[in-house]
Amino acid sequence: MEQIICTPQDLTYLSWSRIRNSSGTAGSFLKSQEDTPDGRIYYKLSNYDSFHGIVGHESVNEIIADRLLNILDIPHLSYQLIHADIIVDSKPIRTWLCASHNFRERGEKKDALDAYYDSNKLPDESPLDFCIRNGWAKYIYQMLLVDYLILNRDRHGANIEVLINRYRKTVRLAPLFDHGVSFYCRSPDDAALEKEDPMADKPVQCFVGSRSAWDNLHLIPQDQFPRVCPLKETDRSALFDGLDAAISKYRLDRTWEMIWRRWQAYEALRCQG
C-alpha cells in the first residue's frame, strides 16, 4: 500500500460525522467510512473549524506516529495519508486526510477499555492493575512509552479497545491506534510553533495513568521497560520522507526535536537502574 498519495483524490462522495474535539482546543474531528471489496476503510480529517476550515495537522501526525512505531517495532494500526477533495458543510475542501482499515478479526466485537474495566474490575482495582492482571502489561508499557515520545494528549478509555470473540472465548487489546492529537497539535502555524517547548510536560489524558506523560513513564517497573528497536538520528529521513508536501519544513524540524529529545530522556531514565 502506498502510504502517501499526493495526487488529489475525489472523495466528495463521503459523508462526514462530527466527533467533538476532546483535546481542549476549538473545533471537531470529522470521520467517515466506506465498504470496499478489500474491507471497510475509515477516514479521519484533521481538526476542523466550521468557519476556518481545516486548522490542524492530526492526519500527518498519524503518519509520523505510524512510522515511529514501525522503527521501534511496536505493533500498531497502519495509516495512509491521502490528498483529497471532500465536501463538508456543503463546502468543497482540498485537504490531507488519513485512512485505515478495520483491525477486527471475524467474530470480534469491540468494547472501550473503560467500559470493559467498569464491568470486570475487582473492588478498588485501578485501571493499570486491571490491565496487568489481564496480561496486558507489555502492551500498556509500550503505549506509555509511545505516548511520552509523541506527547499524545488523547489516550482516554475509548482510545484503547478490547476485542472480544465470544465464540473462540478470546479477549485481546486492539493494536495501538489514534495518535493524531499529539506533537504540537495545539499550534496551528509556525508562529505559534516557535513558542513551543518540546520537553514541556503538558496535561494529557491517560486512562491507565496520570495527567503527566513523564510521570506515566515511572509507572513502568525498572526491569520491564519495553524492549524496542532503538531510535537513531539517521531515522529522521524515514520518519519524514514525503511529508514536506503536507506540512512545513519548520514543523518537521520541531517535531523531530521533540521525538529525539524525548527519546534521549527516556533512555536516560531506562538506564538509571
246-268: pLDDT as tens digits: 999 999 999 999 999 999 999 99
pLDDT at residue 21, rounded to an integer: 46
Residue type, 88: V
Grid cell locating 181: 492529537
pLDDT at residue 23, rounded to an integer: 45
- Listed in sequence order, the residues at least 6 apart from 136 whose beta carbon sits closer than 8 Å to its beta carbon are 173
> DSSP E strands: which ranges in the chain?
4-10, 17-20, 28-36, 39-45, 48-49, 53-54, 80-88, 91-101, 109-112, 154-155, 161-165, 170-173, 205-206
User: Rounded to whole angstroms, how far apart are CA atoms 262 and 200?
Assistant: 10
In eight-state DSSP terms, residue 103 is: -
Mean pLDDT by 10 residues, the chain (273 residues): 94 84 58 93 93 92 98 97 96 96 92 97 98 98 98 96 94 96 94 97 97 98 96 97 96 98 97 81
Tell me the pLDDT tens digit for each residue of 70-119: 999 999 999 999 999 999 999 999 999 999 999 998 899 999 999 999 99
Q: Count helices and strands (H / E) in the chain.
A: 8, 13
Task: Quote the crossing angle between the two packed helices 249-270 and 137-149, to the nearest 10°.
Answer: 130
Q: What SS3 state is found at 90? A: coil
pLDDT at residue 172, rounded to an integer: 97
In eight-state DSSP terms, residue 230 is: P
User: 109-270: what CATH class?
Assistant: mainly alpha
